[in-house]
């Protein structure tokens, strides 16, 4: 067997550069492989600041890098995520700078569930996590609104049903329609702008936002984030009335009240005039009965007063009250006299005790008070004196001055 020795091979006259070879590979792949649908699991998903999506599609045997340009992914209803099973339509291309083949994605769909349904679930989870569905943020509907604002199409069946039911139930209601598109490109922006305009206008008591039934695609404007945030930001209570009873939209979760249909929204927003009249009649009759009972009770009290002894003999009653006052006055004067006598006796007793403890009374019993001259300091003990000190002696009657000749100190 002979082996070809590359080291002895003569160089060919045409030598390709790396770029040239890459271009040929690119030509072969991009022209040789037609656009195809592939399925796989998304991994390493990245959304570049340019808006392009970069990710890989993989299965248990292989993976391929993918790119979806900003101009194409802008129309996606959902946001791709790692681990999501998808169907991708595109073509194999070559990124020449790295010499790497990749799948250029033109369309992307969730596998097993529609793109709209996927987008609905993603937005629902995100807004719920932000607290837009919390009951604490929901406002009560006014019981007797004067003006209702409606955001819907001016030509659909929904507006005809709303106006008919509102007028029938509450003829005094004032209705303001802000016409908008309710499906198609730009419909969500119009609905959100209409809600904001009503809040700037500030002359309506409640808003009804919605449309009649349709497919998920037809109702999609009310699943857009811009509409959900406009409803959440509204200072006016909002009733969401989108589609039929079985249809649920993002607007239903954010709104203060969800109505199953536009007709049900009209019934929720205004009371039934006949029912209100019946309630008023019932309350009026109940009030009349209450007043009649109150008047009867007061009449009976008045009759008792009129037939009482005091009203029949008023002078006698006045005299008895006068006599009672005289008796109370005598008792009060006697009590005051007794109290004064007791106080006087207490004062005399205290005076006697004070006199018994006075120094004059003590001196009468033979005691004397000794002062040392010249500072007039009271002498309490012999040790406070010295020989030759001059002392002043106070007796019960009179006094004397003396000179100390000798001091005898106590041996205690």
Task: Please give the backbone phi and psi of residue 52, each rounded to the nearest 5 degrees, phi first.
Answer: -70, 150
Least confident of 140-154, 246-260, 357-371: 357-371
Range with top average pLDDT, 173-177, 246-250, 273-277, 329-333: 173-177
Does the model's pTM come out above 0.85?
no
pLDDT tens, residue by residue, 241-266: 998 877 789 999 999 999 999 999 99
pLDDT tens, residue by residue, 31-58: 888 888 888 888 889 998 988 999 999 8
Domain holding 216: CATH number?
3.40.50.2300
Residue 393: strand pairing partners = 370, 400
Query: According to the model, what pLDDT value does residue 214 have?
Result: 82
- Residue 125 included in any domain: no
50/154 same-domain check: no
Residue 94: strand pairing partners = 101
173/234 same-domain check: yes
The answer to whether the beta carbons of residues 82 and 89 sit under 8 Å apart is no
Q: How many domains does the chain have?
A: 3
- Residue 343 included in any domain: no
Whether residue 165 has pLDDT greater than 80: yes
CA nearest 235: which of 256, 221, 250?
A: 256
151/98 same-domain check: no
The answer to whether the beta carbons of residues 229 and 191 sit under 8 Å apart is no
95/182 same-domain check: no
Task: State which of 271, 287, 314 marks the end of a domain.
Answer: 271
Q: Which residues contact 375 (CB under 8 A, 6 or more apart)?
A: none
Q: What is the average per-residue pLDDT within 350-364?
A: 73
CA nearest 158: which of 90, 229, 200, 214?
A: 214
pLDDT tens, residue by residue, 204-232: 999 999 998 888 788 889 999 999 999 99
- Residue 284 included in any domain: no
Q: Which two tokens stand for residue 180?
A: 């908008």
92/156 same-domain check: no
More confident residue, 9 or 294: 294
Distance of alpha carbon 348 from alpha carbon 345, whole angstroms: 5
Query: According to the model, what pLDDT value does residue 140 have?
Result: 95
Q: Which two tokens stand for residue 174?
A: 């004032």
CA atoms within 13 A on the CB side of 263: 8
Pairing mode of beta strands 174-179, 399-403? unpaired
Task: State which of 271, 301, 316 marks the end of a domain.
Answer: 271
Q: Which domain holds residue 216?
A: 145-271
Beta strands in 30-179 (DSSP E): 36-47, 53-58, 63-68, 85-95, 100-110, 147-152, 174-179
- Residue 230 CB neighbours (<10 A): 25
Task: State which of 112, 134, 153 marks the end of a domain.
Answer: 112
- The continuous run of DSSP H or E covering 190 comes out as helix 187-201
Per the listing, tokens 């209450």 go with 290
- Residue 120 included in any domain: no
Whether residue 5 has pLDDT greater than 60: no
265/149 same-domain check: yes
Q: What is the average per-residue pLDDT within 161-189?
A: 93
- Residue 258 included in any domain: yes
- The continuous run of DSSP H or E covering 181 comes out as none
78/150 same-domain check: no
Rounded percentage of the chain residues whose pLDDT exceeds 70:
91
Mean pLDDT (the chain, rounded): 85
The answer to whether the beta carbons of residues 391 and 371 sit under 8 Å apart is yes
- Residue 325 CB neighbours (<10 A): 10
Strand order in the sheet with 377-378: 377-378, 369-372, 390-394, 399-403
The answer to whether the beta carbons of residues 65 and 77 sit under 8 Å apart is no
Q: What is the average per-residue pLDDT within 47-76?
A: 89
- Residue 36 included in any domain: yes
Q: How confident is the model at residue 130 (pLDDT cuts 50, 70, 90)?
A: very high
Rounded percentage of the chain residues whose pLDDT exceeds 90:
36
Distance of alpha carbon 52 from alpha carbon 147, whole angstroms: 48
180/247 same-domain check: yes
Q: Which residues contact 377 (CB under 8 A, 6 or more apart)?
A: 371
- Residue 332 included in any domain: no
15 CB-contact burial (10 Å; exposed 0-12 / middle 13-18 / buried 19+): exposed
Query: According to the model, what pLDDT value does residue 262 have?
Result: 92
165/62 same-domain check: no
- Residue 249 included in any domain: yes
73/165 same-domain check: no
Query: According to the model, what pLDDT value does residue 310 have?
Result: 62
Whether residue 1 has pLDDT greater than 50: no
Whether residue 286 has pLDDT greater than 80: yes
Q: Which two tokens stand for residue 332?
A: 């009060």
Listed as own residue / partner, the contacts of 309-313 with beta carbons closer than 8 Å and 24 or more positions apart are: none
The answer to whether the beta carbons of residues 124 and 224 sit under 8 Å apart is no
157/98 same-domain check: no
Query: According to the model, what pLDDT value does residue 7 have?
Result: 53
More confident residue, 365 or 272: 272
Q: How confident is the model at residue 392 (pLDDT cuts 50, 70, 90)?
A: confident
175/85 same-domain check: no
Domain holding 52: CATH number?
2.40.50.140
């Amino acid at each position: 067997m002979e082996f070809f020795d590359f080291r002895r091979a003569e160089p060919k006259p045409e030598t390709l550069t790396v770029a040239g070879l890459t271009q040929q590979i690119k030509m072969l792949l991009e022209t040789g492989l037609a656009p195809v649908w592939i399925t796989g699991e998304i991994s390493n998903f990245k959304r570049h600041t340019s808006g392009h999506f970069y990710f890989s599609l993989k299965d248990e045997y292989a993976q391929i890098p993918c790119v979806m340009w900003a101009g194409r992914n802008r129309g996606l209803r959902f946001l791709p995520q790692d681990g999501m099973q998808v169907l991708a339509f595109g073509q194999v291309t070559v990124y020449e700078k790295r010499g790497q083949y990749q799948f250029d994605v033109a369309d992307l769909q969730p596998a097993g569930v529609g793109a709209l349904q996927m987008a609905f679930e993603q937005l629902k989870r995100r807004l719920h996590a932000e607290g837009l569905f919390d009951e604490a943020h929901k406002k009560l509907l006014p019981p007797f609104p004067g003006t209702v604002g409606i955001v819907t199409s001016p030509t659909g069946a929904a507006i005809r049903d709303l106006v008919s039911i509102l007028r029938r139930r509450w003829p005094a209601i004032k209705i303001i329609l802000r016409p908008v598109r309710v499906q198609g490109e730009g419909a969500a922006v119009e609905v959100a702008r209409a809600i904001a305009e009503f809040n700037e206008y500030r002359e309506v008591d409640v808003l009804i936002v919605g449309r009649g039934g349709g497919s998920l695609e037809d109702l999609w404007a009310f699943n857009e984030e811009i509409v959900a945030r406009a409803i959440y930001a509204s200072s006016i209570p909002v009733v969401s009335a989108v589609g039929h009873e079985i249809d649920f939209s993002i607007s239903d979760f954010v709104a203060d009240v969800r109505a199953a249909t536009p007709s049900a929204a009209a019934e929720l927003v205004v009371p039934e005039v006949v029912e209100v009249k019946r309630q008023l009649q019932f309350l009026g009759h109940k009030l009349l009965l209450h007043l009649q009972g109150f008047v009867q009770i007061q009449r009976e009290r008045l009759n008792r007063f009129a037939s009482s002894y005091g009203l029949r003999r008023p002078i006698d009653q006045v005299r008895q009250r006068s006599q009672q006052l005289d008796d109370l006055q005598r008792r009060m004067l006697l009590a005051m006299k007794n109290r004064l006598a007791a106080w006087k006796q207490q004062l005399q007793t205290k005076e006697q005790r004070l006199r018994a403890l006075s120094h004059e009374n003590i001196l009468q019993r033979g005691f004397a008070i000794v002062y040392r001259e010249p500072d007039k300091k009271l002498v309490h003990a012999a040790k406070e004196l010295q020989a030759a000190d001059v002392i002043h002696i106070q007796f019960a009657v009179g006094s004397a001055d003396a000179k100390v000749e000798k001091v005898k100190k106590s041996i205690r």
